[in-house]
Amino acid sequence: MLIWENIRLAISAIWINKMRSFLTMLGMIIGIFSVITIVSLGDTMRGVVAGEYENVGTGLAYVYMTTEDGYYTDNDLFSQQDAENLREAFPKELTYVGFNTGERLDVTVGRTTEKVYFNGLAKNPEAMKKLKIIYGRMLSNQDIEEKRNYVVLDKDTALSLFGKENAVGSTFSVTINREERELLVIGIYENTDSALMKMLSGGGTKTAYIPESIYVSSEGNTQWTLYFIISPEVDINQTQQRVVNLLSRIKNKPVEQIVSYSAAQEMSTIDTMLGSLSAVVGAIAAISLLVGGIGIMNIMLVSVTERTREIGIRKALGARMQDIMTQFLIEAAIISALGGLIGTLLGIGVISLAASILGVKAVVKPTVILLAVAFSAVVGLGFGMYPARKAAKKDPVEALRFE
Amino acid sequence: MKEVIRIEHLNKVYATGAVEVHALKDVNLTICEGEYVAIMGQSGSGKSTLMNILGCMDRKISGSYYLEGIDVAKQGENELSRIRNQKIGFVFQAFQLIPRTSAMKNVEIPMIYAGVSGEKRKKRAQQLLEKVGLGARCHHLPNELSGGQKQRVAIARALANDPAILLADEPTGNLDTAASHEIMDFFTKLNEEGATVIVVTHEEDIAAYTKRIIRFQDGCIISDTGRRETLC
């Protein structure tokens, strides 16, 4: 018998019992929807994390020192000189060396006071932070070397402090390290972070960039952590090791007490964590698919009993066992696959909506969709098998007499 | 004339629990092409059992049944389905139309299982419904038709694959007198056109339409008006 006839039969049978079919489908819809949503949410988060690291490059790394006994002395902190030594030792290998320090400070202009997060940038600031400058200019190496009291503000901060976006040329005073400074706005940038990242970094934090040299004194060991960016042209792990070795010599400490992590390492840790988390939760959600399958089996059994006479008629008219079986199997598979399809569309819809609200790129892998729909069809076939066999085995004489 | 049905020493025993019911006892019967036969008997006489066997829906028999030379008892499930599909046209007392399915679709069913393509199927279904006088009601659902009309749809369906025999089990049992005569007139017409028609009934006036009456009692043939060996 033609498959197409069976599909038409199945659709008309589903249509005749609209409400019942829909309720049965609901099990599959919810199951597939949760699997797609959860797995895609995980993938989207991984995409966001990867995107963040892409902004700075996977070459970003940091280093800090530990002690044997937990007692820290001055020598366990870094100084500007240490940073400069690194820059000189690895002029090609490291594109940036700095402390990546920051502090939230009160800024008052006229009657407006705003809390602004000040970030210090060291030499070669573009390597650390690629800002989208819309007015004025970025901090230059010269600004940093000469410890100029310059600042690059974000658009929103400028607007709230000065009442205009283009505040280049304006000044304000701020107390940095107990010393009041008059800062000159030399550039305005636009924050291009996604809503999600803004949320994670403290919700609309107002940020300003200043030369690190006016923030970190050139004298003494004051900094816990040293940041550096490894050029993409050299091997990350090897370079990281060379940096550690050099610091070990400079600070006169064993290599084991110099700890360094790169963004690549961190990213793979987070990626693995998110990956296994969404796999586990996705697997739990997949249990609901099983429940959906049982629902299908249940309703197909009812349907087979209700249509005993129809089965008898069909057999009398020449339907073979496999014809009857195919008819009911296809009906189960269509209910299941249709449920899967609706669930998939709902899942994609919800993920896309959530992503657009958070301002991130939704990641829905085609393999996940394929797997979900294939799985729902398999569930339909699997759980439809028993009722279909039951239908096919009916004795035509008995079935025709069924009331 | 060609022999269509040949039954030799047919016995059928129903074993329901402890009681054994000997429904058919050593029945011998031959029906030829173009015959118009009534099988009569009280309920419990074995006529329904014979009907199921003739219709190839029950092959658990002892003795033998040849339908156009095919030994039915030796066929597998799928072959039996094919025989029902190709060689037998059923007409039932309770019409047995598939509910919520148009007259046209009902007539198409045997052709679907025969693998007839969609276009041809629709054309033939249309022709058959016109033949039984329901050309205008092709798209009506069974519950929109009268009893007589339903039975005519069933006849159209029975004729779909041009079967060797038309097997009607109490075809007028659920119909009023007028509709009954209408249906029997139609069977007579089909027989005149050359169809082999077997009608199972317990009503004398229905049997009177036929040319040969075989009476059953307690699983045995007690009389056969047209039993002429020379016929075949």
- Report the residue of A17, A18, A317 to disrupt the B interface, i.e. the one with the largest count of B CBs within 10 Å: A317
Q: At residue A217, does pLDDT exceed 90?
A: no
- SS3 assignment, position B6: strand
Q: What is the pLDDT of residue A312?
A: 95
The better pLDDT of the pair B17, A160 is held by: A160
Q: Which residue of B has its CA nearest to A5?
A: B112
Residue B150 has pLDDT above 50, yes or no: yes
Q: Which of B57, B77, B100 sits opposite A316 (nearest CB)?
A: B57
For B115, the closest chain A residue by CA position comes to A1
- For residue B218, the Cα-to-chain-centroid distance in whole angstroms is 22
Radius of gyration of chain B (CA): 17
Yes or no, beta carbons of B52 and A320 under 8 Å apart: no
pLDDT in tens, A332-372: 988 998 898 899 999 999 999 988 888 888 888 888 888 88
**What local confidence, expressed as pLDDT, does residue A201 receive?**
64
| A1 with B112: Cβ contact below 8 A | yes
Go through B72-111 and write b for each residue having 16 or more CB atoms within 10 A of its CB, e for each that does not. bbebeeeebbbbbbbbbbbbbbbbbbbeebbbbbbbbbbb
Nearest residue in chain A measured CA to CA from B49: A397
Q: Residue A199 pLDDT > 70, yes or no?
A: no
Which tens digit of pLDDT belongs to each residue from A110-131? Answer: 888 888 888 889 988 888 888 8
Long-range contact set of residues A237-244: C-beta below 8 Å, sequence gap at least 24: A237/A262, A239/A90, A239/A93, A239/A94, A240/A61, A242/A90, A242/A93, A243/A61, A243/A63, A243/A86, A243/A90, A243/A94, A244/A63
Contact B86, B80 (CB under 8 A): no
Positive or negative, the CA dihedral A371, A373, A379, A384 is: negative
Report the C-alpha gap between B155 and B92 in whole angstroms.
9
Which chain B residues contact residue A319 at CB under 8 A? 81, 113
Domain ranges for chain A: 3-52+279-401, 60-268
Paired sense of beta strands A150-154 and A179-190, if any: parallel
Torsion of CA A48, A49, A51, A52, to 10 degrees: 120
Residues A4-24, mean pLDDT to the nearest whole number: 88
Q: How many Cβ pairs within 8 Å bridge chains A and B?
A: 61
* Chain B residues closer than 8 Å to A317 by CB: 84-85, 90, 109-110, 113, 157
Tell me whether A109 touches chain B (CB under 8 Å): no
Whole-number percent of chain A with pLDDT over 70? 96
Nearest by CB to B84, which of A1, A5, A318?
A318
Interface of B with A (CB under 8 A): 52, 55, 57-58, 77-78, 81-82, 84-86, 90, 92, 96-101, 109-110, 112-115, 157, 161
Is the domain B35-60+82-231 a CATH 3.40.50.300 member? Answer: yes
Tell how strand A102-109 and strand A132-136 pair up. Answer: unpaired
Residues 6+ apart with CB under 8 A from B53: B10, B12, B24, B59, B61, B65
Q: Is A2 on the interface with B (CB under 8 A)?
A: yes
Delimit the domains of chain B by residue range: 35-60+82-231
Hey, which residues 44-103 in chain A have their CB within 8 Å of chain B? none
B49 vs chain A: nearest CA distance in angstroms?
10
pLDDT band per the 50, 70, 90 thresholds, residue B109: very high
Question: What's the average model confidence in pLDDT over B107-117?
Answer: 93
A318 with B115: Cβ contact below 8 A: no
A295/chain B closest Cα distance in angstroms: 25
For residue A307, what pLDDT band results from cuts at 50, 70 and 90?
very high
- Pairwise CB contact (< 8 Å): A312 & B96: yes
| CA–CA dist B116, A259 (Å, integer) | 79
Q: Is the pLDDT of residue A108 over 90?
A: no
Average pLDDT of chain B is: 91
Q: Is A193 on the interface with B (CB under 8 A)?
A: no
Q: Closest residue of A to B80, CA-based? A: A318
The radius of gyration of chain A's CA atoms, rounded to the nearest angstrom, is: 33
Q: Are B113 and A1 in contact (CB under 8 A)?
A: yes
What is the pLDDT, as a whole number, of residue B210?
Answer: 94
Decide if A310 and B52 are in contact by the 8 Å CB cutoff: no
Q: What is the ipTM of this complex?
A: 0.94
Q: Give the residue on A whose Cα is nearest the Cα of B95.
A: A313
**CB within 8 Å: A313 and B96:** yes
The pLDDT, as a whole number, for residue A203 is 52
- B56: closest chain A residue by CA: A316
A160-172 average pLDDT score:
89
**H-type alpha helices, B88-196:** 103-114, 118-131, 147-158, 177-192
> CB-CB: which of B52, B85, B100 is closest to A317?
B85
By three-state DSSP, how is residue A23 classified? helix
Nearest alpha carbon to residue A161 among A213, A118, A107, A202 = A107
pLDDT at B152 over 90: yes
Q: What local confidence, expressed as pLDDT, does residue A56 receive?
A: 65
CA pseudo-torsion sign A191, A196, A198, A201: negative
Q: Is the pLDDT of residue B229 over 60?
A: no
Mind listing the pLDDT tens digit for each residue in A242-297? 999 999 998 888 988 898 988 888 888 888 888 888 888 888 887 888 888 899 99
Q: Does A397 touch chain B (CB under 8 A)?
A: yes
- A310 in contact with B, Cβ within 8 Å: yes
- Whether chain B has a CB inside 8 Å of the CB on A19: the answer is no
Of A49-63, A132-146, A319-333, B87-101, the range with the lowest mean pLDDT is A49-63
Do the chains contact at A318 and B86, CB–CB below 8 Å?
A: yes
A400: nearest CA partner in chain B: B96
Q: Which of B93, B100, B179 is nearest to B132 (CA)?
A: B179
Consecutive H or E run containing B30: strand B19-32
Choose among B77, B82, B98: nearest Cβ to A321: B77
Measured between CB atoms, does A158 come within 8 Å of chain B? no
Look at A316 and B78 and tell me if their CB atoms are within 8 Å: no
Nearest-by-Cβ selection for B52 from A1, A310, A397: A397
